[in-house]
Amino acid sequence: MESVPHVDDDRYQVEAKVGEGAIATVWKALDRVTGQLVAIKLMRINRMLPETVQRLAQEVEVLRRLQHPNIVGVVGAGTAQDTGAPYIVLEWLDNVSLRFYLQRRRQPHPSFILNIVSGVAHAMSAAHEIGVVHRDLKPENVLLCGPDRNHVKVVDFGMAKLPMELARLVTLRSTLFGTPQYMAPERAKGQPVTPATDVYALGIITYEMFAGQRPFEADEASTLLRKHVYEPVPPLPSVSPAVETVLLEALSKNPMQRPSAQRFAIDLQKALCSSSE
């Protein structure tokens, strides 16, 4: 059984492990100073490589700059006293991921889809304004919070592209990381990342919510990336032509032809309203 970590001179009363991934484990804890619950993201000892440690440091720096209601908040950071593993302390969220939700529900209602798109768009607009590009938007990184699961929070900025002043503090190798199913054509081709890269990923998420499946699938990552670059987006007969047009704009192969995140959300709202009339 994994032992409870010792963090920050016992400021945090660690209660239980609530999640784990390849790089880090997540613990529920009580902040004795504020009386609030927090989530502690603690790096695994066997994953304490220079690049993964840098990614955790990057996430802290980005979240400190991005205080937004649709982005998970950071409380602090430190190093575990017993193992030396770095950790970050995040606001506690009563949540399920969008991935979890979609796996257990049938076709979401258009109003649900619009709420997701609007929440993510607000978060990405705030990030893009300060020069941050998420680079790994996907349903796993979109959380549905609150008793009604209607408040959206974007998480995991460990792979984000940083503005120049932060990039000087955190240096990551230039490698093709991320999730191929949501990767924009320009990333597959090794071209520069821009806010339009996040818009494409949001477009894939939106397509998936409407269609029940992603537009492009393949067993091999290289094949999947070629589809993003060269294949047209499959038609969506389940939505109106107006909604399909908005989606196709977000999924344009040319990043210069995609709308901003906020414009995409506004256009989708207009298209859904016109379809219901």
Using DSSP's 3-state secondary structure scheme, residue 238 falls into coil
Q: Which residues pair with 12 in a beta bridge?
A: 31
Closest by Cα among 192, 86, 82 to 131: 192
By annotation, the residues acting in catalysis are 136
CA dist., res. 152 & res. 119, Å (int): 5
CA dist., res. 157 & res. 194, Å (int): 15
CA distances from 14 to 34, 231, 232 (A): 14, 49, 49
Query: Does residue 128 contact residue 202 with C-beta atoms inside 8 Å?
Result: no
Query: Does residue 153 contact residue 145 with C-beta atoms inside 8 Å?
Result: yes
Using DSSP's 3-state secondary structure scheme, residue 154 falls into strand
Q: What are phi and psi of 11, to 5 degrees?
A: -60, -35
Structure tokens at 85: 């593993």
In one-letter notation, the amino acid at residue 199 is V
Structure tokens at 244: 């399909």
Query: Does residue 140 contact residue 99 with C-beta atoms inside 8 Å?
Result: yes
Query: Does residue 179 contact residue 148 with C-beta atoms inside 8 Å?
Result: no
